[in-house]
C-alpha cells in the first residue's frame, strides 16, 4: 500500500541576490516526505537545509519550483494559512506568561474557546511530562524544560507538519541525548510528520525514519539511517556520515588493487582505471600474518575512547587506515606503536564510491 506524501518539494530553487552576486542556496531540490514519519535534513552549515525548511514554512518563497502539502500547492500561501508549525533554535517563549499560558497562546490567537485552550494546554503538558510546571514562569525553567514548552506550544494546534530547526543545539551533551529520545517519543505518540534540521550526524541516525543528506544546495541521498551509513552514494555522504577510510586503488578483475599491492574483492565492479575504496573503521579487523586476505600494516598511534580503541595503521605504500577495536575490560588492546600487524576487511564491507 502506497504511503501518503505529507510534504513535497518539486525542483525547488532559491537564490539570494541577483546577477553575478546571486547565491543559490537551493539548487533544483526535489524531495518527498511521507505522512507520519520523522524525516531529517542533514548537512553542514550553509548547505541549504534551513532554507528548504523555511520554504515549507512559508517564511521564504522559492525562486523556482513548487512546495506541496498533502498534494496541494502551497508555494505562495502565507505562513499563517499553512497547517505547519516551527520550533526554532531560539525557543521564543514569552517570559511574562506562565508555562500553560505559553502553550495556549497560539490557540487563543486562533480564537479557540477558553475551555478548549485550557484542556489542550493540560493535554500538552502531560505529553511533555511537565504537568507540575503549569504555573511556572519561563525564567524559572532550565534549558531542557524550555525546549519542552516550545515543543508543546508548537504541537498544541495539532499541525499537519512540525518543522524543527536545530532545536537541540543550545543544550549540553547529556540533555541533548535525553531530548533526542523525547523527540522521537513525541513524534510516535502524536503521529505528526516531523521535519528536523541538523548538522549533527548522531541526531540524524538515532531519531530519523529517513534522512536527506545535503551539501552546497543539493540533495545527495535520501534513505534510512542504515542505508545512508552502510551504502552512501558518493564520497561526500560517506565522509560526512561518521568516520571512514578512503584508500586509493585501481580496478582489477573481481575487485580493486590497493597501492600496497593487496587485492580486495568488490562485488559487481566493472571497468578499469583508478578509483577510491572506502571502508568503515569498525569493519577493519586485526588478522594473523598469512591469514587469507590479510594485509601487512604498522601501528602508528592508539587512541582510547573507553568502549573502543582507535588503532591508526599505515600500509606499505603509506596509506593510512583506522581500525576501531573493542576495548577489553582493562583497556589494553595488546598493541604498541611501531608494531607490525596484519589487518583484513570484513567481507562485503568495502565499496567503491563516486567522487
pTM flag (> 0.75): yes
The closest of 355, 354, 348 to 230, measured between CA atoms, is 348
Q: What is the pLDDT of residues 311-341, one digit of tens each?
A: 999 999 999 999 999 988 888 888 999 999 9
- Residue 165 C-alpha cell reads as 530547526
User: For the chain, what percent of residues have pLDDT higher than 90?
Assistant: 63
- In this prediction, residues 91-120 reach a mean pLDDT of 89
CB 50 within 8 A of CB 238: no
Interhelix angle 143-155/99-109, rounded to 10 degrees, is 20
- Residue 177 C-alpha cell reads as 541525548
Burial, 251: exposed, middle or buried (Cβ in 10 Å; 0-12, 13-18, 19+)? middle
CB 179 within 8 A of CB 137: no
pLDDT of 42 higher than 90: yes
- Residue 292 C-alpha cell reads as 587469507
pLDDT of 90 higher than 80: no
pLDDT reported for residue 20: 82
- The model's confidence at residue 354, banded by pLDDT at 50, 70 and 90, is low
The closest of 39, 41, 61 to 50, measured between CA atoms, is 41
Give long-range contacts, CB 8 A cutoff, 24+ apart: 121-124.
Answer: 121/152, 121/156, 124/152, 124/153, 124/155, 124/156
pLDDT reported for residue 17: 87
pLDDT of 233 higher than 80: yes
DSSP 200: -
- In this prediction, residues 190-203 reach a mean pLDDT of 93
- 331 sits in the region (left: phi over 0; alpha: psi -120 to 50; else beta) called left
Strands (E), 178-328: 193-198, 210-215, 218-223, 245-252, 255-258, 263-265, 274-279, 284-287, 295-304, 308-314, 320-326
Minimum mean pLDDT among 113-122, 171-180, 233-242: which range? 171-180
User: What are the C-alpha distances in Å from 213 to residues 46, 83, 229?
Assistant: 13, 25, 11
Adjacent-strand bridge partners of 197: 41, 165
- In this prediction, residues 208-224 reach a mean pLDDT of 96
Q: What is the pLDDT of residues 259-275, one digit of tens each?
A: 999 999 888 787 788 88
Mean pLDDT of the chain: 91
3 state DSSP class of 140: helix
Q: What is the pLDDT of residues 134-189, one digit of tens each?
A: 999 998 988 888 888 988 898 888 899 999 998 888 778 887 888 888 889 889 98
The closest of 31, 28, 35, 76 to 55, measured between CA atoms, is 76
pLDDT of 1 higher than 70: no
Integer-rounded Cα Rg, in Å, for the chain is 25
User: What are the C-alpha distances in Å from 66 to residues 28, 79, 226?
Assistant: 10, 15, 30
- Residue 99 C-alpha cell reads as 508555562
d(CA 305, CA 282): 14
Phi, psi of 203 (to 5 degrees): -60, -45
The closest of 310, 43, 28 to 199, measured between CA atoms, is 43
Pairing mode, strands 5-16 and 64-69:
antiparallel
Q: What is the pLDDT of residues 275-299, one digit of tens each?
A: 899 999 999 999 888 788 899 999 9
The Cα angle at residue 69 between residues 216 and 88, in degrees rounded to 5: 55
pLDDT of 107 higher than 80: yes
- Residue 166 C-alpha cell reads as 536545530
pLDDT of 77 higher than 60: yes
d(CA 290, CA 295): 9
- Residue 143 C-alpha cell reads as 534549558
Of residues 25 and 348, more confidently modeled: 25
- The model's confidence at residue 216, banded by pLDDT at 50, 70 and 90, is very high
Amino acid at each position: 500500500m502506497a504511503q501518503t506524501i505529507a510534504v513535497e518539494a518539486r525542483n525547488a530553487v532559491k537564490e539570494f541576490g541577483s546577477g553575478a552576486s546571486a547565491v543559490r542556496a537551493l539548487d533544483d531540490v526535489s524531495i518527498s516526505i511521507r505522512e507520519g514519519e520523522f524525516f531529517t535534513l542533514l548537512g553542514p552549515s550553509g548547505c541549504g537545509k534551513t532554507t528548504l525548511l523555511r520554504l515549507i514554512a512559508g517564511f521564504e518563497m522559492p525562486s523556482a519550483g513548487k512546495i506541496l502539502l498533502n498534494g496541494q500547492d502551497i508555494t505562495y500561501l502565507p505562513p499563517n494559512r499553512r497547517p505547519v508549525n516551527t520550533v526554532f533554535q531560539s525557543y521564543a517563549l514569552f517570559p511574562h506568561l506562565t508555562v500553560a499560558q505559553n502553550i495556549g497562546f497560539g490557540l487563543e490567537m486562533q480564537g479557540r474557546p477558553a475551555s478548549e485552550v485550557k484542556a489542550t494546554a493540560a493535554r500538552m503538558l502531560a505529553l511533555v511530562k511537565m504537568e507540575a510546571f503549569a504555573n511556572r514562569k519561563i525564567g524559572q525553567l532550565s534549558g531542557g524544560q524550555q525546549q519542552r514548552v516550545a515543543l508543546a506550544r508548537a504541537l498544541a494546534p495539532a499541525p499537519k507538519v512540525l518543522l524543527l530547526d536545530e532545536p537541540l543545539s543550545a543544550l549540553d551533551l547529556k540533555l541533548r541525548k535525553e531530548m533526542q529520545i523525547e523527540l522521537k517519543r513525541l513524534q510516535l505518540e502524536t503521529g505528526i510528520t516531523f521535519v528536523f534540521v541538523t548538522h549533527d550526524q548522531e541526531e540524524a541516525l538515532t531519531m530519523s525514519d529517513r534522512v536527506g543528506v545535503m551539501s552546497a544546495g543539493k540533495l545527495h541521498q535520501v534513505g534510512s539511517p542504515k542505508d545512508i551509513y552502510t551504502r552512501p552514494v558518493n564520497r561526500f555522504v560517506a565522509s560526512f556520515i561518521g568516520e571512514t577510510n578512503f584508500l586509493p586503488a585501481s580496478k582489477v578483475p573481481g575487485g580493486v588493487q590497493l597501492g600496497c599491492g593487496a587485492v580486495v574483492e568488490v562485488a559487481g565492479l566493472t571497468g578499469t582505471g583508478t578509483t577510491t575504496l572506502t571502508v568503515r573503521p569498525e569493519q577493519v579487523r586485526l588478522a594473523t600474518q598469512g591469514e587469507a586476505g590479510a594485509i601487512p600494516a604498522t601501528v602508528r598511534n592508539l587512541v582510547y575512547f573507553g568502549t573502543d580503541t582507535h588503532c591508526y595503521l599505515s600500509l606499505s605504500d603509506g596509506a593510512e587506515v583506522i581500525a576501531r577495536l573493542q576495548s577489553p575490560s582493562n583497556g589494553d588492546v595488546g598493541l604498541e606503536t611501531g608494531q607490525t600487524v596484519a589487518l583484513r576487511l570484513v567481507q562485503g564491507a568495502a565499496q567503491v564510491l563516486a567522487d
